[in-house]
Amino acid sequence: MKFLSDKVTNNSHGQDSSYFLGWQEYEKNPYDEIKNPKGIIQMGLAENQLSFDLLESWMALNHEAAAFKNPEGESVFRQLALFQDYHGLPEFKNAMAQFMSEIRGNKVDFDADNLVLTAGSTSANETLIFCLANPGDAFLLPTPYYPGFDRDLKWRTGAEIVPIQCFSSNGFRITESALEDAYKEAQNRNLKVKGVLVTNPSNPLGTTLTREELKLLITFVDEKGIHLISDEIYSGTVFESPAYVSAMEVLSELKDKTDDVWERVHIVYSLSKDLGLPGFRVGALYSNDKMVVSAATKMSSFGLISSQTQYLLAAMLSDKKFTKKYLSENQKRLKERHEMLVAGLREAGIECLESNAGLFCWVDMRHLLSSNTFEAEMELWKKIVYQVGLNISPGSSCHCTEPGWFRLCFANMSEETLALALKRISSFVASEQPASTGTTSPRTSNKSSKRKGFTKWVFRLSQNNDRNRER
C-alpha cells in the first residue's frame, strides 16, 4: 500500500541526477587535511568562503547588532522574538534594495515596496513560477543551466522546462534562432510558454549576459507576451570586464514604465553567493507588477526569513563603508582564485570557457573522452570522483548539448585544498597514455599565453562502469 502522495514520490525532484549523486559520494568520504587526506574534495558546491574574514571582522566591530541591540545599546530581542508581519522588516528591505542597486553600479533603482523576501533564491524562483504559471505551462531556459532548476521550477509547481539549446561554437551564447526554436518546440509539445528564465551571471558558465543578449530577450518576451525571470544571485561576483548589466538596466533603456512588458520582467536575488551566507537563507524576488508582489508576499509565509537575521543584515548592509570594501575585496579574491584554477588546469592540458564571474569554471574535457557520447562523459565523471577524488558536476547534469564539459567550483575551499585538487588532476592526466589529436576547443580561456590550440590527451576509460546516459 502506498502511503505517500504522488507529488512527493514523482521523479521530477532530480535527486537521482549525477549533480546530487556526486554530493552523496563526497559526504561518504569527505576530504580533510588531517583526518581524511585521501578523501573526495568537494568541487561541486558553489559556495563563497573567500571573504568570510571580512564578515567576521564586521561582526566583531558591531557586536551590538549581533547581540540584538539598537544603536543606543538597548535590547530589541523581545520585539524580534514576537510574531512579525511576513512583509519583512522595513529596515532590512530598504537596505537590501540599496545593496542591490550598489552592486549594479547604482544604474538601477529598486523600490523596496516591490521586493518580496523569501528563504533563499530557491524559494524565490519557485514562488515566481507559482505566480506566473499553471501546472503544465512551460518556461524556456538556455542550456547549460543549474541542475537544481529541475527541482526548483518543476517539482511542486508542475511546470515544464523547455531548453534553449546553446552551443560551444559561439561560447554558449543565446541567439534569436535558439529562442524561436525552443518556443516552437514547446508549441509542438502543446505546452503554453509563460516565460524565459536566465541566470546572469550564468551558472554554470560563469559568464555575464551581454547588453545585446538582454535586449534580445526583452524584445522576445515583449513580442510573445510572456515573462522574463532574471536570476541575478551572482551579480556581485563579477571580477573582470565586461561590467555587469542587469535586465532591469536594459529594460529601463528600452521601454517606458507605462509599457506592459515593464511588469513582465522579474529579478531574483540572494545573499548566498555575493556575501557567502547560504545558511542564513536570505533571498528576494523583485517585480514591478503589484499583483505579482501581492501574490508572492502571501506565498512567502511558507518560507520566511527570521526577524533576527533581517535585523542583523539590515545593520550590515546599511554600513556603506563595509559593503564597498567587501564587494571590491571579494571580487579581487575571486579573480585571483579563478586565475589559479585556470592556470593549474592549463598546465594539465585542460582549458576553460573564458569567464568573468561566478564561483566556478566551465571546463572543457572533451579531449579526455573515450568517445563523443554522454556515456563516455559519465565514465570520465565516475573516474574523477572515485579514482581522482574530486566531486565535479558533469555537463549532462546541466543539460549541456555537448558531452565533455564539467563545472568546477573554486571558492568553497582553501588555497591549499585547491592546489591539491589541481595536483590530483595533473597526476591523473599524466598517468594516462597521451596522444595528440591536433584539434582545438572553441572559445576557451587562454588570455595568458594567447595560444590558439593546446595539446589533446586521450585515454581509454574502463569499460566496467555503468553506461547510463544522463541528459
Distance separating alpha carbons of residues 184 and 229, to the nearest angstrom: 20
Helix (H, G, I), strand (E, B) or coil at 368: helix
Catalytic-role residue among 93, 154, 194, 273? 273
Backbone angles phi, psi at 234, to 5 degrees: -105, 15
**Can 19 be counted among the known catalytic residues?**
no
CA distances (Å), 207 to each of 152, 199, 361, 373, 445, in order?
22, 10, 9, 25, 12
Residue 392 catalytic? no
C-alpha 87/C-alpha 281 separation (Å) is 16
Amino acid, single-letter form, for residue 197: L
Query: Which residue among the candidates 231, 274, 289, 364 is catalytic per the annotation?
Result: 231
In terms of Cα–Cα distance, which of 393, 443, 415, 441 is closest to 340? 415
Q: Is 273 a catalytic residue?
A: yes
Active site annotation includes 233: yes
Instruction: Give every strand in the sheet of 160-164, ordered side by side.
Output: 115-118, 283-287, 265-270, 227-231, 193-199, 138-142, 160-164
Choice among 40, 229, 233, 384 that is catalytic: 233
Helix 121-132 and helix 290-299: axis angle, to 10°?
A: 120
Q: What are phi and psi of 276, to 5 degrees?
A: 70, 40
DSSP of 82-125 = S---TT--HHHHHHHHHHHHHHTTT-S---GGGEEEESSHHHHH
Q: How far apart are CA 128 and CA 323, in angstroms?
A: 28
Catalytic residue, from 31, 145, 146, 286: name it. 146
Nearest partner of 266 among 121, 166, 143, judged by Cα? 121
Q: Which residues are catalytic?
A: 146, 231, 233, 273
